[in-house]
Amino acid sequence: MYIDAHHHLWNYDASEYDWIDDSMAVLKQDFLIQELEKTLAQNGFSSSIAVQARQSMEETLWLLELAEQTQLIKGVVGWIDLRSDNLAQQLDELSEYAKLVGFRHVIQGETDPAFMENPNFIRGLKMLAERGYRYDLLIFAHQLPAAAEMLAKVPNLNVVIDHIAKPNIKSRTDFDTWQQGMAVLAHNKACFCKLSGMVTEADWINWTDMDLQPYMITVWNLFGAERIMFGSDWPVCLVAAQYERVKQTVIDFINARSPEDLPLVMGDNAKRFYQL
């Protein structure tokens, strides 16, 4: 059975999820435990990692409460203000939650190009590393150089790149720049990469597996089978593909290269990285 290393849950509210515009109408509804259980079971997954979709402590606590109610969710990647002066106290209060495995900040949404240089943010990352938490890196491809500089300051932080750093798959532009940026991060053996979120960076209506091939090949060559993990990015993926197709695209890719490594990519690496 597989582990989905990246999905979301939400009670839909237009004001809370203002990033969901009319082009994403399929997402304007609740996605909760019952639907998750059904979707994962239909696709051969035994467990999952729930990842934050809003930057609020309220959502982090809500996800942790949901995780306590089901054996399906093995870990939660929440949000916390890493720049906060009382971060240590907040982390102490959260330490009672055994399923809290890491944190994420929506860096892709930050308009300040120097955001990742913020000393308070760096201090927060160091605190996560000291406490053994994992960090999900959510950035756009053009932010890769700044991310590399940031992570160089926190060498003992276990980090995973979400959505292969969101390259321009639809326009197929800046491929070499993205590839070079990913190569820098891949030199850090504590850095993993999720084969996730690719279909939403492609042409939602007309994408094919071949559109994703150059990107998956790059990730495969840079990170190797032992530092890659599958994530559906459900339900966000639904704007471009059903869960089954997202899953099968990755499975077909791995099977064509190294079928014996399929268990690593589809679950074992996530289990090891998130210390499940």
Please report, for the domain that includes residue 142, its CATH number: 3.20.20.140
| Burial (0-12, 13-18, 19+ Cβ within 10 Å), 188 | middle
Task: Using the predicted structure, report yes or no on whether residue 222 has a pLDDT greater than 90.
Answer: yes
Q: How high is the pLDDT of residue 18?
A: 87
Instruction: Indicate the range of 14-18, 89-93, 204-208 predicted with least confidence.
Output: 14-18
* Phi, then psi, of 193 in degrees rounded to 5: -145, 135
Q: What percent of the chain has pLDDT over 90?
A: 97
Task: Using the predicted structure, report yes or no on whether residue 1 has a pLDDT greater than 80.
Answer: no
Handedness of CA 128, 129, 133, 138 (dihedral sign): positive
Of the two residues 15 and 199, the one the predictor is more confident about is 199
- Are 50 and 10 in contact by the 8 Å Cβ rule? The answer is no
Domain count of the fold of the chain? 1
DSSP-derived 3-state class of residue 235: coil
Average pLDDT over residues 203-210: 96
pLDDT in tens, 113-171: 999 999 999 999 999 999 999 999 999 999 999 999 999 999 999 999 999 999 999 99
Q: What percent of the chain has pLDDT over 70?
A: 100
- Are 244 and 101 in contact by the 8 Å Cβ rule? The answer is no
Q: How high is the pLDDT of residue 120?
A: 98
Task: Using the predicted structure, report yes or no on whether residue 16 has a pLDDT greater than 90.
Answer: no
Nearest to 8 by CA among 30, 24, 26: 30
Structure token digits, residue 227:
């530092």
pLDDT in tens, 230-270: 999 999 999 999 999 999 999 999 999 999 999 999 999 99
Q: How high is the pLDDT of residue 117?
A: 97
Query: What are the start-end ranges of the H helices in 43-162?
Result: 57-68, 87-94, 119-130, 144-152
E strands present in 211-254: 228-230
Q: Which domain holds residue 62?
A: 2-273
pLDDT in tens, 29-83: 999 999 999 999 999 999 999 999 999 999 999 999 999 999 999 999 999 999 9
**What is the average pLDDT value for the chain, to the nearest integer?**
97
d(CA 227, CA 192): 5
Beta bridge partners of residue 168, listed in sequence order? 173
- Are 254 and 211 in contact by the 8 Å Cβ rule? The answer is no
Alpha-carbon distances, residue 140 vs 107, 111, 149, 240 (angstroms): 8, 12, 15, 19
Task: Using the predicted structure, report yes or no on whether residue 223 has a pLDDT greater than 80.
Answer: yes
Rounded to two decimals, the pTM is 0.97
Q: How high is the pLDDT of residue 159?
A: 98
